[in-house]
Chains A and B, each alone.
Chain A
Amino acid sequence: MDFISTRSMSKDLIEDILKEAKKYEPKKDFSSVLKGKVLATLFFEPSTRTQFSFQSAMERLGGNVLGFSTIEGTSVKKGETLTDTIKMISSYVDCIVIRHPQEGSAKLAAEVSPVPVINAGDGSHDHPTQTLLDLYTIKDSFKSLDGLNVGICGDLRYGRTGRPLSVGLSNWDVKLHYISPPQLSMDKGTIKFLRDKKIEVREVLKIEDAIKELDVLYMTRIQRERFPTEEEYLKFKGVYVVDKRIMDMAPEKMIVMHPLPRVDEIVTEVDSDPRAQYFNQAKNGVPVRMSVLNKAITEK
C-alpha cells in the first residue's frame, strides 16, 4: 500500500494507523514484524527527524534500511531521472521512502515502482506521515479530534505541513484558525476544499487574535529559502513568536506543536511548559511510522 497524499487517505485508514501506532508506543520487542524486509530511504533533500524516525521505526520492526541523505555521489548527480532511479532501487528493496523537491514526485515514483512508496515530503505539496503523527499527537492529548479549535500559524502557503494537516483534520468536526501574513496565507483551493467539507475556517493576522479560542496552536517556520531577497525574509522573520506572554494568554489545556526544526518561533522558555508538545510530537514519529511501514509492506 502506498502513502502518497493526505487527501487520498480515508478517515478509516487514518484511524486504523493511529490505533496501531498506540500498540508500538511501549518499547516492547517488535523485531519479528518485518524481519527480513529491506527499506530504502531516498532523501533527495536533507532531513533529520523524518529520516531518522523512519530508520528507527524499520529497525524496531526487525527490518533493514539502506539509502542516501544527499544526492552527492549518487547516479542522480550524473543526471539519472527519478523514474530510472526508482525502477532500479525498487528491485533491491521491499519499500521505498522518498523525499524529493519536485511536487508529485512520490506519486510518479509509486507509478513506476512495484514495491510500496511512502511520501516523506514532495516540495510544498504533502508530507502524509507528518500529518499522521500530528493527528496522533493531538488525539493523544484530547482523546477525540471532534470539536477542536486548531490554529495553524506561520508560512501556510509554502510550508509542507499546514496544508496536509488541514486536509487530515477535515475528516473530523474541527474549526481551523489560520494565522499568517497575507503573503503567506493558505491557498484558496485548500480553503475551498475545507469549506466544501463544512469545515469552518477563520483567517487572522496575529496569534493574539485567536489564542484564547485554541485547543491546539501549531507553529510553523517562516522559511528563508522561499523569499526572493533577504530583505523580504527579514520583514516576516520573528513576526510570530510564542513566548511566556503568549502562553499566559493561552487556555490551560491548549497544546503547542511544531514540526521542527524551529528557528525563533518558540522561545526555549516555553519548552518546560507542560503544554509544549513539540518534542513529544517528534517522538511520536517512530510509533506512527512503524504503523505506516507495517501497513505499507504487508497490505495491498
Chain B
Amino acid sequence: MAAEQTLKVQKIENGTVIDHIAGGKGWEVVKLLGLEDYPGTVTLLSNVHSKSLGKKDIIKIENKQLSKKEVNKVALVSSQASVNLIKDFSVKEKFNVELPGEIVGILKCTNPVCVTHFEPCESRFAVEARNPLVLRCTYCERIQTKLEFK
C-alpha cells in the first residue's frame, strides 16, 4: 500500500487511546466522557477499517489518563472498546471496557414521571443483563427501553 494511502495519525506521548469503538459511535463516546470541553488535544478517527469489526472508531486524548471507572462508561455504547494508557509513547496499561453493576448520573430515566426528573438527585440504574443490555431505574424500577444520555 502506498504511503499516502496509509492512515497517518501521530502517536501520542502521554494520554489515553480508546480503540475498537464500534464504527460511528466515537461521537457518542466524546460526549459521554465530556471531552467536548477538554482543553487539550482530542483526535477522533471515525469509521476506520478494522479486521475484526469491519469499521471502528478510535479516540486519542492527549495528556489525560482516564480512570477505569470513567472509561467503563464507554461500554454503554460500545461494549468491545479497549483502552490503552500511554506514557512516554509506550503503552503503560491496556484493558477492555467493562460495564459497571450500576450506572450513576449518565443516563436519563425514560419514565417521564420518575422522581429523578424533578429532584436534585443523580439518576441511577442497575445493570440487570449485559447482552442484550437491560437497565432498571433504581428509583421508579422502570426497565429502560432506550438509552437517553443526560
Contact = CB atoms under 8 A, between A and B. Distances in A.
Given A101-B113, A102-B113, A125 B119 contact: no
Given A101-B113, A103-B111, A81 B140 contact: no
A103 B140 contact: yes
A104 B116 contact: yes
Interface string B80-123: 00000000000000000000000000000101011110111100
18 contacts: A5-B141, A81-B120, A82-B115, A83-B121, A101-B113, A103-B140, A103-B142, A104-B115, A104-B116, A104-B138, A104-B140, A105-B119, A108-B121, A108-B139, A122-B115, A122-B140, A123-B140, A125-B141
A253 interface: no
A102 B141 contact: no
B33 interface: no
Q: Is the interface of B mostly helix, strand, loop or mixed?
A: loop
A103 B115 contact: yes
Nearest to B118: A102
B119 A108 contact: yes
A83 B111 CA distance: 20
A239 to B, nearest CB: 25
B115 A126 contact: no
- Counting from the closest, the 5 A-B pairs by CB-CB distance are A104-B139, A103-B140, A104-B140, A104-B115, A102-B115
Contacts of B118: 82, 102
A123 B119 CA distance: 15
A105 B115 contact: yes
Given A81-B120, A104-B109, 20 more contacts: A7-B141, A82-B115, A82-B118, A82-B119, A101-B113, A102-B114, A102-B119, A103-B115, A103-B142, A104-B138, A104-B140, A104-B141, A107-B115, A108-B115, A108-B121, A111-B121, A123-B113, A124-B113, A126-B141, A189-B143
B137 to A, nearest CB: 7
B139 A107 contact: yes
Interface in A88-107: 100-105, 107
Most chain B CB neighbours (cut-off 10 Å) among A103, A105, A107: A103
Contacts of B109: 104
Nearest to A112: B121
Contacts of A122: 115, 140
Contacts of B114: 102-104
Contacts of B138: 104, 107
A16 B120 CA distance: 36
A68 B100 CA distance: 41
B117 to A, nearest CB: 8
A163 to B, nearest CB: 10
B91 to A, nearest CB: 41
B143 A104 contact: no
B103 to A, nearest CB: 15
A124 B114 CA distance: 10
Contacts of B121: 83, 108, 111
Contact of B140 (A82, A83, A111, A125): A125
A122 B109 CA distance: 16
A166 to B, nearest CB: 13
Contacts of A105: 115, 119, 139
Contacts of B143: 189
Contacts of B139: 103-105, 107-108
Contacts of A103: 111, 113-115, 139-140, 142
Contacts of A100: 115
B119 A81 contact: yes
A140 B134 CA distance: 38
A79 to B, nearest CB: 12
A124 B119 CA distance: 18
Given A5-B141, A103-B142, A83 B120 contact: yes
B136 to A, nearest CB: 9
A99 B13 CA distance: 57
